[in-house]
């Protein structure tokens, strides 16, 4: 009897469920198509430097090209002008950071010249909308690692002229501006004196300060100093993945008070504690085996095979990203959360978030969670554009 009732129940509820799922799907599709979808941090220039490739074509490697961006309804993205720490300017030694930024800018110019029918650079939020309306992908530029300023604010002014909308103050090492979350040295205990001048000049120029990658001390000093809202271009939440590279709840609240936006990183490393512990566990076992069976290559091979089979990596999933987004929205409000995938800069992507074609899933899930169209649009791109515009509006009148 019980089985019969279950069958009856399924027969009556399934069509209704299917119908409501189809309606949700259609509504999500429409919202996604109408919204301006923007990714605040894409590392494609970095990938192109390492591997080459023509992003005007659909590529089988990497996470971004203009064809897949169109498929995923991704209208605009910030291309990171990523200057690796090996180029860092230290004291009086120039290691070529500004030149490296120039090289990347030239590379992007060439790409845009060759893909003029697909994409164009945007210097302001208004231009982003214009480019997108013309059916092209809007490429925005952001500098990842302030070391490219090389202790000379004239370089910052030159980069702002080239359309750099934000500067990520550091990368993996302390530099001449600030301490990095990844660097245990804590050279300046936050910002250097030059770093403080840099913040003031960025405010004056209308260039956003990106707090991703800096140490906690540097973060709090930036928040105390800046006169314009800040951005975290690609940071997730410490609540679910404990590391200084992610944002604590009190940091999130500080960004809310400052009027800024936190754009969530999609990388498994940023989203999931289980992922990271499984990686650490496996790496430790591999290192131990290599040490133990150093003199026995055949045995080592067998052991490594065993470790790989017995210690699988527990990857993050699409739901982990949603967990971060939903928690941040509930804590600091819909106005202060955005998306900064870090695609092409992250080694492992979560299951279900393989590349830029995955963006529509985010819209659908936010809709399913009960967020309104207006709210979803904010997360998808409007919050980033608002913060950028506020920085431009606060610019000093020359
Ligand atoms: Zn980064």
**pLDDT given at position 4:** 47
Place of tokens 């110019």: 109
Q: Please, which contacts does 114-122 make with residues 24 or more away whose CB atoms are closer than 8 Å?
A: 114/56, 115/55, 115/56, 115/66, 118/56, 118/66, 119/66, 121/163, 122/76, 122/163
Q: Is 95 helix (H, G, I), strand (E, B) or coil?
A: coil
- Cα(290) to centroid of ligand 1, in Å? 31
**pLDDT given at position 92:** 67
CB 247 within 8 A of CB 238: yes
- Cα(204) to centroid of ligand 1, in Å? 25
**pLDDT given at position 372:** 97
- Cα(271) to centroid of ligand 1, in Å? 14
- Cα(92) to centroid of ligand 1, in Å? 25
- Cα(288) to centroid of ligand 1, in Å? 30
Over the range 242-268, which residues count as b (16 or more CB within 10 Å of their CB) and which as e?
eeebbbeeebbebbbebebbbbbbbbb
- Cα(44) to centroid of ligand 1, in Å? 12
Sign for the pseudo-dihedral over CA of 37, 34, 111, 158: negative
- Cα(171) to centroid of ligand 1, in Å? 6
- Cα(342) to centroid of ligand 1, in Å? 7
**Three-state secondary structure readout of 183-198:** CCCCCCCCECHHHHHH
- Cα(176) to centroid of ligand 1, in Å? 17
- Cα(18) to centroid of ligand 1, in Å? 41
Sign for the pseudo-dihedral over CA of 174, 96, 346, 223: positive
Alpha-carbon distance values, 231 to 20, 136, 284, 351, 390 (Å) = 37, 25, 36, 27, 11
CB 128 within 8 A of CB 140: yes
**pLDDT given at position 11:** 52
Size of the chain in residues: 398
* Dist. CA 325–CA 336, nearest whole Å: 10
- Cα(146) to centroid of ligand 1, in Å? 12
Question: Helix, strand, coil % (nearest 5) of the chain?
Answer: 55, 15, 35
Burial class (CB in 10 A: 0-12, 13-18, 19+), 116: exposed
**pLDDT given at position 16:** 75
Structure tokens at 278: 């499984």
**pLDDT given at position 290:** 94
CA angle 376, 382, 388 (to 5 degrees): 155
Residues whose CB is less than 8 angstroms from the CB of residue 64 and which lie 6 or more positions away in sequence, other chains included: 42, 44, 55, 77, 343, 344, 355, 356
DSSP state of 186: -
What average pLDDT values come out for the chain (398 residues) when binned by 10 residues?
A: 48 69 94 98 95 95 97 98 88 83 97 97 98 98 96 97 98 96 97 98 98 98 98 98 97 98 97 92 93 94 92 93 98 98 96 97 97 98 98 85
* Dist. CA 134–CA 95, nearest whole Å: 41
* Dist. CA 387–CA 335, nearest whole Å: 10
- Cα(279) to centroid of ligand 1, in Å? 20
**pLDDT given at position 17:** 77
The end-to-end CA distance of the chain, in Å, is 82
Bridge partners, residue 120, by sequence: 138
């Amino acid at each position: 009897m019980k089985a019969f009732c279950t069958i009856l129940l399924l027969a009556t509820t399934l069509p209704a469920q299917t119908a409501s799922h189809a309606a949700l799907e259609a509504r999500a599709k429409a919202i996604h198509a109408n919204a301006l979808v923007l990714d605040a941090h894409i590392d494609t220039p970095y990938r192109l430097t390492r591997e080459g490739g023509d992003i005007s074509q659909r590529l089988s490697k990497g996470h971004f090209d203009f064809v897949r961006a169109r498929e995923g309804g991704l209208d605009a993205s910030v291309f990171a002008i990523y200057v690796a720490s090996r180029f860092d300017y230290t004291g009086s030694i120039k290691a070529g950071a500004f030149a490296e930024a120039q090289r990347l800018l030239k590379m992007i110019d060439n790409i845009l010249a060759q893909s003029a029918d697909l994409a164009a650079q945007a210097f302001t939020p208004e231009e982003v909308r214009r480019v997108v309306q013309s059916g092209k992908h809007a490429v925005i530029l952001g500098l990842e690692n302030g070391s490219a300023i090389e202790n000379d604010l004239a370089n910052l002014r030159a980069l702002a002229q080239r359309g750099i909308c934000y500067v990520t103050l550091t990368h993996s090492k302390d530099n001449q501006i600030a301490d990095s979350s990844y660097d245990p040295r804590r050279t300046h205990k936050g910002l250097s004196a030059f770093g403080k001048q840099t913040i003031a000049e960025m405010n004056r120029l209308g260039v956003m300060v990106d707090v991703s990658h800096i140490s906690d001390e540097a973060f709090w000093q930036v928040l105390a100093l800046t006169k314009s809202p800040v951005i975290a271009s690609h940071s997730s939440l410490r609540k679910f993945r404990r590391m200084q590279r992610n944002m604590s709840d009190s940091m999130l609240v500080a960004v809310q008070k400052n009027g800024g936006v936190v754009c969530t990183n999609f990388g498994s490393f940023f989203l999931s504690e289980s992922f990271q512990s499984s990686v650490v566990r496996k790496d430790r076992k591999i290192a131990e085996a290599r040490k133990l069976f150093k003199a026995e290559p055949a045995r080592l091979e067998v052991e490594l095979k065993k470790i790989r089979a017995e210690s699988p990596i527990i990857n993050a999933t699409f739901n982990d990203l949603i967990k971060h987004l939903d928690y941040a929205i509930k804590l600091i409000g819909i106005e202060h959360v955005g998306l900064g995938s870090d695609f092409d800069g992250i080694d492992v992507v979560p299951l279900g978030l393989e590349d830029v074609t995955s963006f529509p899933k985010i819209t659908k899930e936010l809709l399913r969670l009960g967020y309104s169209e207006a709210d979803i649009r904010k997360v998808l791109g409007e919050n980033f554009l608002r913060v950028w515009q506020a920085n431009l509006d606060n610019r000093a009148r020359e």
